[in-house]
Amino acid sequence: MPTPTDPHSTHPVIEFRDVEKHFGDKTVLKDLNFSVERGERVTLIGPSGSGKTTILRLVMTLEELSAGYIYIDGQPLAYEQRNGKRMPVSSREQKKIRTRIGMVFQQFNLFPNMTVMQNITEAPIHVLGKSKDEATARARELLEQVGVPDKADAHPTQLSGGQQQRVAIARALAMDPEILLLDEVTSALDPEVVGDVLQVLRDVAENTNVTMLIVTHEMSFARDVSHRVMMFDGGKVVESNDPETIFTNPSNERTRQFLSAVLRDS
């Protein structure tokens, strides 16, 4: 059994196998199969309401998996096969795996009652068991890295959207995640700060080997940072290829339509 951080692990870092997700009687994901390799940066594109956020929330264990399996480094995340039966993974095991995954949300989702410093150090202290001094020192480095070194004592409401999102990125990175999930992280921002926040993420992509699963409508960002783009529609991956091919010569008609609509709007 490979250890979680085993760089020689032959398993994909993320694997969806026959995943289904229903909300009530509405099927959002059906027979969804894909995998993401270690260090790979994959962007998920597709129409609004197609289930992109749901995919990320499933990886983050924020949604219940209706059917199928998700594996992180080969370890079952929510359900596993035991004696030919589909059985839930213990919540203790689930929590352990989840500490290796960070997520940045469209709406920042900072804890409003905590300072920036508390937002960033809370999980490293309480989940990873870091000392307060160590967590604080790392948080200061990260605040510097994301470009808001002077905001440690501020509360989220005192920050602009762009600043809040920088803090949210720092908070995710403070857990040293193996996997970083980004859900339309610039969609709620004023246009003039979008480029700066994306630059922070471009630097993360360039300077770390964190695996990224990205949902974005920023196509030039997607093109620059992704190793692979997956077009997703009707609950399934309809096309998966390198960004150059997807953006210049998509093979799927649905991808072609989607991209021409998105590129026309931007």
Ligand X SMILES: Nc1ncnc2c1ncn2[C@@H]1O[C@H](COP(=O)(O)OP(=O)(O)O)[C@@H](O)[C@H]1O
3-state DSSP assignment of residue 75: strand
Asked whether position 111 contacts ligand X by CB under 6 A, the answer is no
Q: At what angle do helices 161-173 and 191-207 cross, to 10 degrees?
A: 20
Please report, for the chain, how many H helices and E strands are present, in that order: 9, 12
CB of residue 51 to ligand X, shortest distance in Å? 4
- For ligand X, the closer of residues 28 and 168 by Cβ is 28
- Sign of the dihedral defined by the CA atoms of residues 184, 185, 186, 189, in that order: positive
Separation of alpha carbons 25 and 2, rounded Å: 38
- For ligand X, the closer of residues 221 and 232 by Cβ is 232
Which range, of 47-55, 187-195, 197-205, 206-214, touches ligand X by CB under 6 A? 47-55
- For ligand X, the closer of residues 53 and 61 by Cβ is 53
Which range, of 51-59, 167-175, 197-205, 243-251, touches Mg ion by CB under 5 A? 51-59
- For ligand X, the closer of residues 28 and 120 by Cβ is 28
- For Mg ion, the closer of residues 150 and 265 by Cβ is 265
- Interface with ligand X (CB under 6 A), residue from 14, 19, 54, 189: 54
CB of residue 104 to ligand X, shortest distance in Å? 14
Query: Which residues neighbour 201 within 8 Å (Cβ) at sequence distance 6 or greater?
Result: 169, 182, 185, 221, 225
Asked whether position 53 contacts Mg ion by CB under 5 A, the answer is yes
**Residue 54 binds which entry of Mg ion, ligand X, none, with Cβ cut-offs from 5 to 8 Å by kind?**
ligand X
Q: Which residue is nearest to Mg ion (CB)?
A: 53
Which amino acid, one-letter code, is at 263? L
CB of residue 184 to ligand X, shortest distance in Å? 8
Separation of alpha carbons 227 and 42, rounded Å: 6
- Interface with ligand X (CB under 6 A), residue from 49, 84, 129, 191: 49
Asked if 186 and 197 count as a contact pair (C-beta separation under 8 A), the reply is yes
Residues forming beta bridges with residue 28, ordered by sequence position: none
Which range, of 45-53, 147-155, 204-212, 223-231, touches ligand X by CB under 6 A? 45-53
Separation of alpha carbons 14 and 78, rounded Å: 13
- For Mg ion, the closer of residues 53 and 164 by Cβ is 53
Site for ligand X, residues 12 to 31, rule: CB under 6 A = 23, 28
Which range, of 6-14, 46-54, 131-139, 164-172, touches ligand X by CB under 6 A? 46-54
Q: Which long-range contacts (CB under 8 A, 24 or more apart) does 123-128 make?
A: 123/99, 123/171, 123/174, 123/175, 124/174, 124/175, 127/99, 127/175, 128/99, 128/175
Which stretches of the chain bind ligand X, using CB under 6 A? 23, 28, 48-54
Which stretches of the chain bind Mg ion, using CB under 5 A? 53
